[in-house]
Amino acid sequence: MSQVSVKTRQADLKKLALAARDKQAAYGPDLDLETFGVGTSQGDRVEALTDLPDRLREVSLLAGFQTGEEKRSASYFQQGEDILYDRVKEIYRGKVEVMQIETAFERYDWLWDYWWRTVDVDADKYTAWTALYQKGGYFMRILRGQQVELPIQACLLMSEADTSQRVHNIVIAEEDSKAEIISGCSTAQKVSSGLHLGVSEFYIRKGAELSFTMVHNWGEGFHVRPRTGIYIGENGSFISNYIVLRPLASLQTNPRAVLHGPGSRVRFNSIIHGREKSILDVGSVIELQAEGSRGESISRAAVSDEAEVTMRGLLKADTDKTRGHLSCSGLLLSRNALVDALPQLAVSGAPEADLAHEASIGPVDEEAVQYLMSRGLVREEAESAIIQGFMRVGIEGLPEVLDQMVKDLAQQITESGRG
């Protein structure tokens, strides 16, 4: 893209963002973004992740981030607005690129062709503010034909209360590549309030396979507004694993996947524990636009205390010979909790499209508890086993870090009671 074209595009995006500064989102509680500060500088770059302060290393582990890097191919670490680390292991150079987004723009003029293409800059105030005040975020590229055996990891951390983090990420999986990304969000100890705005754009090229696991570990007073778009080409595959570990003030996310190429595939797996007074609105939109494309979205939520959880799912098909399935299930553990399951199907001009959905909300099955107790388990063990099974239903091949977190989550729910 020429310099003139870049400046014109920048001006157009800014104009759209300014017009949407106060535009409320379709879902989730509205926020006054002016109440969150920008924050101060939080740290200098480090030569190795082991050089990070112990307090940062501890909280990043809770978000699935390994500071030892033994089982990771590349790493990105951002604290507030400061990028402390972005590096690819020597053995994976030429296969993977990981760097802060600003560095990527300095290196690649063509990156403008990917900027704000899968997410509308004026979708709501959260996209608008990200566009106007963005600082940091990662650029990841898996090069053509490369099979990356070890996961790429990222951590976006906040360590100053009542501030905002505004990042824009771009991930490109080139043709016939294969990789896994584990991205965690967390807060420093004793930092319980703030705002995270994160725009993420994924481009899955022909024959590429990408698995993306997101782990949220925010403080109880945090508001989180991810905005995500995924473009999937011919025979491309994208798997999203999304897990919320701790209570937070509010979360609203509704990633949109466009299956543009024949034979393209997407799967969303969401595992949510809603507790205390959290307001969580989690969904997905899958657009089946090419023959042979397939989409699936599975949401599991265990809800206790006074939490409110909404599980949305929209499957859209405008092409024949496409298939999609939605599954939304809530486990209600408190009389004061609220669960909504809202699956939706839409077909236009595609009589041979095959879409289906199912939804359920209920308590822990007492008959199943009694059966397991008759086999020698105490009640707590029986309930934990049932909750663990509920959270894992239909979700195969979870990354090791997520698999352990699901087990720990079931144990935490059982130990904490039903609120």
Predicted confidence (pLDDT) per residue in 20-74, tens digit = 999 999 999 999 999 998 877 667 899 999 999 998 998 898 888 999 888 999 9
Reported residue count of the chain is 419
Has residue 400 been placed in a domain?
no
Judge if pTM exceeds 0.75: yes
398 found inside a domain: no
SS3 state at 86: strand
Question: Does residue 372 belong to any structural domain of this protein?
Answer: no
Question: Are 234 and 259 spatial neighbours (Cβ–Cβ below 8 Å)?
Answer: no
Task: Confirm whether 419 is domain-assigned.
Answer: no
> Looking at residue 416, what is its pLDDT?
64
The sign one gets for the Cα dihedral 381, 387, 389, 392 is negative
> 66 vs 73, 184, 237, CA distance in Å?
11, 10, 26
Residue 173 in any domain: the answer is yes
Q: What is the pLDDT of residue 384?
A: 80
pLDDT of residue 61: 86
DSSP 28-83: S----GGGSB---------SSGGGS-HHHHHHHHTTT--TT-TT-SEEEEEETTEE
- Is there a contact between 271 and 243 (Cβ–Cβ < 8 Å)? yes
The C-alpha angle 390, 360, 309, rounded to 5 degrees, equals 80
Residue 196 lies in a domain: yes
Could you tell me if residue 288 is inside a domain? yes
Range of the domain at 210: 3-364
SS (H, E, C) 164-230: EEEEEEEEEECCCCEEEEEEEEEECCCCCEEEEEEEEEEEECCCCEEEEEEEEECCCEEEEEEEEEE
Number of domains the chain contains: 1
* Whole-number pLDDT of residue 394: 57
Task: Note whether residue 397 is domain-resident.
Answer: no
Tokens of 190: 């004793």
Predicted confidence at residue 409, as pLDDT, reads 73
| pLDDT of res. 371 | 87
**Residues of the chain predicted below pLDDT 50:** none
Per DSSP, 10 falls in state H
The amino acid present at 271, given as its one-letter code, is: I
pLDDT for 397: 56
| Per-residue confidence (pLDDT) for residue 300, from 0 to 100 | 92
Q: What are phi and psi of 33, to 5 degrees?
A: -70, -20
